[in-house]
Amino acid sequence: MTDTVVQTRQREIATEHLLFKLIEYVEAKHPGLLDHLEDSLDHLGDPANDATKDDDGVRKIARRMITGARRDS
The pTM (predicted TM-score) of the whole model is 0.77
Tens of pLDDT, residue by residue over 41-73, are 999 999 999 999 999 999 999 999 999 888 876
Amino acid identity for residue 66 in this structure: I
- Kindly indicate the confidence band of residue 2, based on its pLDDT and cuts at 50, 70 and 90: confident
Q: 32 lies in which domain range?
A: 1-72
State how many domains the chain has: 1
pLDDT score, position 71: 85
3-state secondary structure the chain: CCHHHHHHHHHHHHHHHHHHHHHHHHHHHCCCHHHHHHHCHHHCCCCCCCCCCCHHHHHHHHHHHHHHHHHHC
d(CA 68, CA 34): 11
Band the pLDDT of 1: cuts 50, 70, 90: confident
What confidence score (pLDDT) does residue 47 get? 95
Mean pLDDT calculated for residue range 11-34: 94
Rounded Cα–Cα distance for residues 27 and 41 (Å): 17
